[in-house]
Amino acid sequence: MKNVLHVLRAERRLSQDDLAKLVDVSRQTINAIEREKYDPSLPLALKIGKVFSKKVEEIFFLEK
């Protein structure tokens, strides 16, 4: 699954560790999501969306 998480994180000047703490996961999980090696669960995707005030589908999307 593609995502723009790294872009949103950079815009907010959040480190991977900062975001991880906000959504209660490890920094490695955030890194894996950004590298598109791991797809977040729905609850995690919703938490991430809430941090950035975005809908899940504005952050995560399927390849065409």
63 pLDDT more than 90: no
Contact (CB, 8 A) for 31 and 61:
no
* CATH classification at residue 35: 1.10.260.40
32 assigned to some structural domain: yes
Count: domains in the chain: 1
pLDDT at 51: 98
Note whether residue 60 is domain-resident. Answer: no
Sign of CA dihedral 45, 23, 55, 61: negative
Using one digit for the tens of pLDDT, what is the confidence trace for 8-60? 999 999 999 999 999 999 999 999 999 999 999 999 999 999 999 999 999 99
Residue 24: give the domain boundaries: 2-55
Does the residue 9 lie in any domain? Answer: yes
